[in-house]
Chain A
Amino acid sequence: MDFLTIIQLLDSTVRLATPLLLACLAGLFSERAGIFDIGLEGKMLMAAFFSAAVAAATGNVWLGLLAGIGSSLLLAGLHGVASITFRGNQLISGVAINFLAAGMTVLIAQDWFQQGGRTPSLIGGGRFTPFDLPFAESLSGVPVLGPVYSELLSGHSILVYIAFLAVPATWWVLFRTRFGLRLRAVGENPAAVDTAGVSVVGLRYAAVMICGLLCGIAGAYLATALQAGFVKDMTAGRGFIALAALIFAKWRPWHAMGACLLFGLLQAIALRFQNIELGGITIPVQAMDALPYVLTVVILAGFVGKAIPPRAGGEPYVKER
């Protein structure tokens, strides 16, 4: 493989890792606060649709982004009501939200656009366009570093940069702020937070809403930056890969970025090459598709370090004696 191909592959890795990363960080906030979320997929899908729909209708991608975030927040709020206020089963709520999004997006899309569950293709201002870093053009001639800068680092949509900046931001919020301390505490022992005079419900809602916000950006990215419009089921399991990455990263922000880049790379490889020849054996493309899931199972099995979720994760908080 030549240098340029590698750059191209990494470039596509960055693009494909972005939605994973946003969703993964979203899950990180929620799960660190003790609310399991297998509804990342649904929130992303809903956001993808509404961002594309509004962007198509208004021709303004920023309005689309807002709409996407809004719809994702709505589902996040639903998850919050079910799992925080009514202390329901978080896993079941997540499953329901995934189905709800899968159905509603197509239903509404069909109603609004009559295009079989799609939105019209986005054109012009309806899409996020590549964002060139300074001097990308002039530096492209520099050997090795030039292409790395101008091809790999520059020229992505603004949301890509937001996603990668969200990593240090997440780290900082979680480990350097009061909010972060409380958020982590509420995922470990909500009773401690409660008796310390801080609202468990408030904190958990805040976490779930941040999760909604990030999923919203992820969905909008899919429909308005990575692609030009919504097609049904366009998240294609990315929410679950993000969940896998979250476990892989053991709920830590920087590791989450590593995991998402790894899974993005796997996707990039699977997208570009059908079957891969490796020293005489052919690795079928299906193996590449399944690899993130297999890796997650291996991690979960504890063969490569144990993944211990936040202790109060998945449990509704009930005051007990």
Chain B
Amino acid sequence: MDKMPKWADVVLIPLISLFLAALLSALVILGIGEDPVAAVKLMVDGALGSTYGWGYTLYYATNFMFTGLAVAIAAHAGLFNIGGEGQAMLGGLGVALVCLLIPWPHWTLALVFAALGAGLFGAAWAAIPAYLQAKRGSHIVITTIMFNFIAAAVLNYVLVNLLRPEGSMDPATERFPEAVHLPSLHELLAPIGIEFSKSAPANVSLLVAVGACLFVWLLIWRTPLGYEIRSLGKSEPGARYAGISSVRTIMIAMLISGALAGMMAVNNVMGEAERLVLNATEGAGFIGIAVALMGRNHPFGVFLAAILFGFLYQGGAELALWTSIPRELIVVIQALVILFTGALDNMVRMPLERIFLAMRKGQN
């Protein structure tokens, strides 16, 4: 007998946690002498009030879908992949190499191969921690943290010493050729008569991200491989009993996870910046953790949570632009969301369970 209904676990708890996080965030805004209502209004206005705002919200959401899915799929295998940031950085390198080294005739082809390149590089960056976890039991949380730092160093080296164009002062690659320019939502929607902001960076990668959500959903809940991943995540001895190779499954789950994180680069590197800069990921790999926690590791939940965080991100940028509230406010909000949905969920769950138990006793 469960202590409470499933919907309470899946919907009610995250919502209450989110509410608590929002409440505390409001207190923080009050604490720095600003008006939380005005701040929220500005955020909503800036992030959702125009197609320009939506364009940025969806652009960020695209990033977070990829990294959130990456965290989620690893979590299904019982692994905490904190390495999304590093994997996404390397994914950027993959995209840059694909876009710069090969003269693509059309963006569609470039997109496919850039996604492959990003996935490959991201997966490769996840492969070593995955292998060490699977074969040697090295704690993947620590190894992926270490690999984030190593990725930053590698990218730094590559951008400064190898890919920086002659005579440029920026540690960044040169601009990708015009041919690999991905159509933005403006360009996609104009033919069907929808006016979408021209300057917002949301682009066709959004569709790729939505596709990835669907793919992960099918994979996890509808394929034998997903079944194996979930089984391993729930019980390692069980997996051994069922003939599910933990090494193989950990490797596959982490490779997919790394590939998804890496594919974020299609959006931010190829779709937006159109060149690879330092710190292109802007912490999206870490936000993936919050997104997956919020979304309860379900692709649909990840989709919704990614949009929520896209909103927070764009809203936060607007705050920084138009008020004296620093952008770090969203880091605080993000921290509170992770704290309440991830680490303190028992604080919500325990009393809730008691309430449901009492309600059931009352009925009997």
Q: Do A and B have CB atoms closer than 8 angstroms in the complex?
A: yes
**Nearest CB of chain A from residue B7's CB, rounded to whole Å:** 22
On whether the beta carbons of A87 and B346 are closer than 8 Å, the reply is yes
Bound CA–CA A294/B150 (angstroms):
7
**Nearest CB of chain B from residue A106's CB, rounded to whole Å:** 4
Nearest A residue to B129 via CB reads: A297
Contacts of B147 in A (CB 8 A): 293, 297
**Nearest CB of chain A from residue B87's CB, rounded to whole Å:** 15
Query: Taking each of B142, B143, B147, B334, which has the highest tally of chain A beta carbons within 10 Å of its own beta carbon?
Result: B142
On whether the beta carbons of A290 and B149 are closer than 8 Å, the reply is yes
Bound CA–CA A303/B342 (angstroms):
33
Binds B, one of A4-12, A90-98, A134-142, A152-160: A90-98
Q: A93-B343, A104-B332 are in contact. Are A110 and B324 (CB under 8 A)?
A: yes
The answer, yes or no, to whether A100 is at the interface (CB within 8 Å) is yes
Binds A, one of B41-49, B133-141, B205-213: B133-141
Query: Taking each of B33, B146, B149, B344, which has the highest tally of chain A beta carbons within 10 Å of its own beta carbon?
Result: B146
On whether the beta carbons of A92 and B338 are closer than 8 Å, the reply is yes
Please pick, from B137, B146, B331, B345, the residue contacting A293 in the complex, using a CB distance under 8 A. Answer: B146
Contacts of A107 in B (CB 8 A): 28, 32, 325-326, 328-329, 332
The answer, yes or no, to whether A25 is at the interface (CB within 8 Å) is no
**Nearest CB of chain A from residue B251's CB, rounded to whole Å:** 15
Chain B residues numbered 77-107 whose CB sits less than 8 Å from any CB in chain A: 80, 82
The answer, yes or no, to whether B161 is at the interface (CB within 8 Å) is yes
The answer, yes or no, to whether A120 is at the interface (CB within 8 Å) is no
On whether the beta carbons of A297 and B343 are closer than 8 Å, the reply is no
Chain A residues numbered 215-258 whose CB sits less than 8 Å from any CB in chain B: 232, 237, 240, 243-244, 247
Contacts of B160 in A (CB 8 A): 286
Q: A96-B335, A99-B338, A293-B149 are in contact. Are A89 and B343 (CB under 8 A)?
A: yes
On whether the beta carbons of A82 and B339 are closer than 8 Å, the reply is yes
Nearest A residue to B138 via CB reads: A300
What 0/1 pattern do residues 242 to 285 of A give for CB contact below 8 A with B?
01100100000000000000000000000000000000000010
On whether the beta carbons of A106 and B328 are closer than 8 Å, the reply is yes
On whether the beta carbons of B346 and A237 are closer than 8 Å, the reply is no
What 0/1 pattern do residues 92 to 123 of A give for CB contact below 8 A with B?
11011111101111111011001001000000
Nearest A residue to B33 via CB reads: A111
On whether the beta carbons of B343 and A243 are closer than 8 Å, the reply is no
Contacts of B338 in A (CB 8 A): 92, 95-96, 99
Please pick, from B132, B293, B346, the residue contacting A300 in the complex, using a CB distance under 8 A. Answer: B132
**Nearest CB of chain A from residue B85's CB, rounded to whole Å:** 12
The answer, yes or no, to whether B347 is at the interface (CB within 8 Å) is yes
User: How many of chain B's residues have a CB under 8 angstroms from any CB in A?
Assistant: 51
Interface residues on A, range: 35 or more
Contacts of A99 in B (CB 8 A): 286, 331-332, 334-335, 338
On whether the beta carbons of B139 and A117 are closer than 8 Å, the reply is no
**Nearest CB of chain B from residue A216's CB, rounded to whole Å:** 19
Chain B residues numbered 149-178 whose CB sits less than 8 Å from any CB in chain A: 149-150, 153-154, 156-157, 160-161
Nearest A residue to B338 via CB reads: A96
What 0/1 pattern do residues 283 to 299 of A give for CB contact below 8 A with B?
01011011001101100
On whether the beta carbons of B336 and A100 are closer than 8 Å, the reply is yes
On whether the beta carbons of A286 and B343 are closer than 8 Å, the reply is no
Contacts of A240 in B (CB 8 A): 145-146, 149
On whether the beta carbons of B329 and A96 are closer than 8 Å, the reply is no
Chain B residues numbered 319-364 whose CB sits less than 8 Å from any CB in chain A: 324-326, 328-336, 338-339, 342-347, 350
The answer, yes or no, to whether A302 is at the interface (CB within 8 Å) is yes
Chain A residues numbered 56-104 whose CB sits less than 8 Å from any CB in chain B: 78, 81-83, 86-93, 95-100, 102-104
Bound CA–CA A289/B150 (angstroms):
8
On whether the beta carbons of A93 and B329 are closer than 8 Å, the reply is no
Contacts of A89 in B (CB 8 A): 342-343
On whether the beta carbons of B153 and A289 are closer than 8 Å, the reply is yes
Please pick, from A91, A96, A284, the residue contacting B141 in the complex, using a CB distance under 8 A. Answer: A91
The answer, yes or no, to whether B289 is at the interface (CB within 8 Å) is yes
On whether the beta carbons of B286 and A95 are closer than 8 Å, the reply is yes
Q: A96-B338, A99-B335, A290-B150 are in contact. Are A88 and B346 (CB under 8 A)?
A: yes
Q: A95-B338, A102-B328 are in contact. Are A300 and B343 (CB under 8 A)?
A: no
**Nearest CB of chain B from residue A308's CB, rounded to whole Å:** 10
Bound CA–CA A312/B247 (angstroms):
24
Q: A38-B141, A301-B132 are in contact. Are A296 and B342 (CB under 8 A)?
A: no
Known contacts A88-B342, A237-B149, A284-B161; 9 additional CB pairs below 8 A are A86-B350, A93-B343, A95-B342, A105-B328, A107-B32, A110-B324, A111-B33, A117-B326, A240-B149
30 A–B contact pairs at CB < 8 A? A38-B145, A88-B346, A88-B347, A92-B338, A96-B335, A96-B336, A96-B339, A96-B342, A98-B335, A102-B331, A102-B335, A103-B330, A103-B333, A107-B28, A107-B32, A107-B329, A111-B31, A111-B33, A237-B149, A240-B146, A243-B142, A243-B145, A247-B142, A293-B153, A297-B128, A297-B138, A297-B146, A300-B136, A302-B138, A309-B139
Which A positions have Cβ atoms within 8 angstroms of B? 38, 78, 81-83, 86-93, 95-100, 102-108, 110-111, 114, 117, 232, 237, 240, 243-244, 247, 284, 286-287, 289-290, 293-294, 296-297, 300-302, 309
